[in-house]
Amino acid sequence: MKAGVQQNKVRSAIRTMVDHLATGLAILATILVVAPLIAIFAYLIYKGASSLNLAFFTQIPKPIGESGGGMANAIVGSGVLLGVASLLGIPIGIGGGIYLAEFGRGTRFANAVRFTADVLNGVPSIVMGIAIYSLIVFQQKHFSALSGGVALGIMMIPTVTRTTEEMLLMVPNSIREAALGLGVPTWRSVLSITLKTASPGVITGCMLAFARVAGETAPLIFTALGNQFWSTSLNEPIAALPLQIYVYAISPYDDQHRLAWAGALVLIILIVLAVSLVRYVASRGILKGAS
Amino acid sequence: MGVGIEVTNLNAWYGANHTLQDINLPIPANHATALIGPSGCGKSTFVRCLNRMHETNPIARVTGSVRIGDMDIYADASPVEIRRRVGMVFQRPNPFPTMSIYDNVASGLKLNGYSNRRALDEIVERSLRNAALWDEVKDDLKKKSGASLSGGQQQRMCIARALAVDPEVLLMDEPASALDPVSTSKIEDLIFQLKTQYTIVIVTHNMQQAARVAEKTGFFLNGRMVEFDSTHKIFTNPSDKRTEDYITGRFG
């Protein structure tokens, strides 16, 4: 009897130790995940914050040799490019995800689509740039904001499609049956019930795709090209923050290096702001106790 | 008002699995009819054939005829039309999690394009009263999510949701099996009131429940209907040996 009690005590001590160890490892992993982001952000603030002033947000780049100037055109240009990309990538992506999860489940075509989306996700962004260059830029004989937006938009599709599919598959079947059982047509049930129930996850997927292409430089080199002047036309080359950062970062002037750091800081802040804004807007109207 | 249901030579399959075999059954209007039988005997499949939910599964197949009132549901109408006339309450409460209590109850009408707000308010109130839930939720109809209610309240909300589209028949697939005894007795009281206005078909594992709420009872076994008669006769003097074995607890 006594030996048994002793043994139980030892086992319980070991269990407690293992528990602490596992908790410790999880905390360590969390720190490792968050640390790089914080480090990058801190470094950007250290390097870039001093160059941020009103001119940065209101002026276009100064000619080489002159100091000062800003990235107003690049900020607006990134907005235009991301707008075009979202208009193209999000509807197609969500539509594809709905097909995969709700209509094509288990069919050969759906498997092919899913596979293609995964491959497209793995295509290097520079290849996407070259592809759009030969499909749009080369045909039109000029670089344009539209081609840049298309390149980014296509890059958004696979992420949006796959997260939409995953999120729709997580909606319990009982909810689909509830809607069908009320005599709701399938298309209506998919849009108003299933997609709506999955919407927090779908929005997260869209934001992930958005944030990812917001920082893309390579596909824009061949498409949007960049622009030192004001332009918001879809038919002309357009400036973009990542492009401007790239140009300034490899230039030989210290002044431009500082602006590149500031640009990187602004890019990250704008992405965080855009994502937070969408989340805030999307979270309003969710009721007490809704899951 | 409810209408009667006439099932003739109904057969159903899941893939190669012949889950229902030659079912013939007259279900009377404005009464509750209980279907009992061991798990996997086909009773759930049977009620799902009555509103064509069975065929939402791509490998499912049905033959035979089901007449609801004057309509042959497999010949005369689309599944969507039929499901508006034949409401369904599922085993587990399945509220729409993004919707308020009000929107849950109004969903069947709203999603079919009905938008008269005054009339909707009235229908929601009447449906919730009919489902004996109105007094518990009337103060936070639009504030609270349907999913925030207790399980028993959720199930009564789902009943209200089914009633709101004004069906003639109400199918209930083990509506109380996931609920506690108090909620169960509330649901049973409800069935008692509702059957004066609707034709109710209730699948249940609980034989006392069948005895309490239903005038007629059918006993299913291995995809066949063994016996269908008045509930009193089934539970006191069944004609089939297998029915007697089941209700006396010798198997199942």
Interval A189-200: pLDDT, tens: 999 999 999 998
Q: How far is A107 from chain B (nearest CA, A)?
A: 11
B108:A189 CB<8 A: no
Query: Cβ–Cβ of A288/B148 closer than 8 Å?
Result: yes
The answer to whether the Cα torsion of A37, A40, A44, A46 is positive or negative is: positive
Q: How confident is the model at residue A2 (pLDDT cuts 50, 70, 90)?
A: low
| Mean pLDDT over the full length of chain A | 92
Cβ-nearest to B98 among A179, A197, A288:
A197
What average pLDDT score do residues A74-94 get?
97
> Does B94 sit within 8 Å of A178, measured CB to CB?
yes
pLDDT band at B136 (very low <50, low <70, confident <90, very high): very high
The tens digit of pLDDT for each residue in B168-210 reads 999 999 999 888 898 899 899 999 999 999 999 999 988 899 9
Q: Which pLDDT score is estimated for A1?
A: 55
Query: CB-based burial of residue A27 (10 Å sphere; 0-12 exposed, 13-18 middle, 19+ buried)?
Result: exposed
Q: What is the DSSP letter of A238?
A: B
Chain B interface residues (partner A, CB cutoff 8 A): 51, 53, 56, 58, 79-85, 87-88, 90, 92, 94-100, 107-108, 111-112, 143-145, 147-148, 158, 161-162, 165
Gap between the terminal Cα atoms of chain A: 50
**For residue A98, how far is the Cα from the chain centroid?**
20
Encoding tokens for residue A146? 């539209």
Inform me whether the pLDDT recorded for A118 exceeds 50: yes
- In order of A84, A208, A215, the CA distances from A291 in angstroms are 33, 22, 33
Please answer yes or no on whether B94 and A106 come within 8 Å at the CB atom: no
Report the pLDDT value the prediction gives residue A105, as an integer from 0 to 100. Answer: 87
Among the partner-chain residues A181, A183, A199, the one whose CB lies closest to the CB of B81 is A183
pLDDT value of position A7: 85
- Number of A/B CB contacts below 8 angstroms equals 92
Q: What is the pLDDT of residue A291?
A: 44
Q: Collect all residues of chain B within an 8 Å Cβ-Cβ radius of residue A110.
A: none
Enter the tokens of residue A49: 């914050």
- Of B28, B59, B81, B58, which is closest to residue B195 (Cα–Cα)? B28
| Interatomic CA distance for residues B61 and B19, integer angstroms | 10
Q: B139 in helix, strand or coil?
A: helix
Q: What is the mean pLDDT of residues A219-223?
A: 94
Q: Is it the case that residue B252 has pLDDT exceeding 70?
A: no
Which positions ≥6 away from B97 have C-beta within 8 Å? Answer: A175, A197, A290, A291, B145, B146, B147
Element holding A188 (H helix, E strand): helix A186-189
Task: Write the CA distances from A60 to A13, A56, A73, B208, integer angstroms.
Answer: 66, 8, 6, 81
State the Cα–Cα distance between residues A255 and A101, nearest whole angstrom: 52
Q: Determine if residue B10 is left, alpha or beta; phi over 0 gives left, psi from -120 to 50 gives alpha, anything else beta.
A: beta
Q: Which residue, chain included where needed, has tokens 């410790």? A: A24
Residue closest to A267 by CA, chosen among A223, A205, A235, A220: A220
| CA A140/CA A125 separation, integer angstroms | 21
**Beta-carbon contacts of residue A218 (< 8 Å; ≥ 6 apart):** A124, A125, A126, A128, A129
Cβ pair A182:B165 closer than 8 A: yes
Q: Do A188 and B56 touch (CB under 8 A)?
A: no
Contact B158 A178 (CB under 8 A): yes
Number of H helices, E strands in chain A: 13, 0
Burial class (CB in 10 A: 0-12, 13-18, 19+), A166: middle
Q: How far apart are CA B222 and CA B38, in angstroms?
A: 9
Q: Cβ B87–A181 below 8 Å, yes or no? A: yes
CA B64 – CA B30 distance, rounded (Å): 24
Cα gap B137→B50, rounded to integer Å: 31
Name the residue of chain A whose CA is nearest to B160's CA.
A182
For B71-107, b/e burial (b = at least 16 CB within 10 A) is: bebbeebebbebbbbbbbbbbbbbbbbbbbbbbbbbb
Q: Which two tokens stand for residue A69?
A: 């100037």
Q: State chain B's mean pLDDT as an integer.
A: 92
Q: How far is CA A78 from the centre of its chain?
A: 14
Q: How much of chain A, in percent, has pLDDT values that exceed 70?
A: 97
Contact A60, A228 (CB under 8 A): yes
How far apart, in whole angstroms, are the C-alpha atoms of residue A279 and residue A275?
6
Q: Which residue of A has its CA nearest to B171?
A: A181
Paired tokens of B179:
């609920």
Asked if residue A206 lies in contact with residue A47, where contact means CB atoms within 8 angstroms, the answer is no
Tell me the average pLDDT across A135-152.
95
Does B145 sit within 8 Å of A289, measured CB to CB? yes
- Indicate the SS3 state at residue A288: strand
pLDDT digits (tens, 9 = 90+) for B17-46: 999 999 999 999 999 999 999 988 999 999
Question: Between the ranges A95-99, B58-62, B138-142, B243-247, where is the mean pLDDT highest?
Answer: A95-99
What pLDDT shows up at residue B134?
95
Question: Average pLDDT, stretch A121-133?
Answer: 95
Q: Percent of chain A at pLDDT above 90?
A: 81
Nearest to A179 among B111, B144, B145 (CB): B111
Q: What is the interface pTM, i.e. ipTM, of the complex?
A: 0.90
Q: How confident is the model at residue A286 (pLDDT cuts 50, 70, 90)?
A: low
Q: Could you tell me what percentage of chain B is helix, strand and coil, using 3-state DSSP and rounding each to the nearest 5?
A: 40, 25, 35
Alpha carbon distance B95, B172 (integer Å)? 15
Tell me, what's the pLDDT at B88? 95
A179 exposure class (CB count in 10 Å sphere: 0-12, 13-18, 19+): buried
**How do residues B154-168 score in pLDDT, each as one tens digit?**
999 999 999 999 999
| Residue B212, amino acid | R
Average pLDDT over residues A201-230: 93
- Comparing alpha-carbon positions, the chain A residue that sits nearest to B114 is A184
Distance CA A133, CA A151 (A): 9
Q: Tell me how close the Cα of B53 comes to any Cα of chain A, in angstroms.
A: 7
Cβ <8 Å between B147 and A193: no
Q: Which residues of B touch A196 (CB under 8 A)?
A: 98
Q: Which of B70, B127, B74 is nearest to B103 (CA)?
A: B127
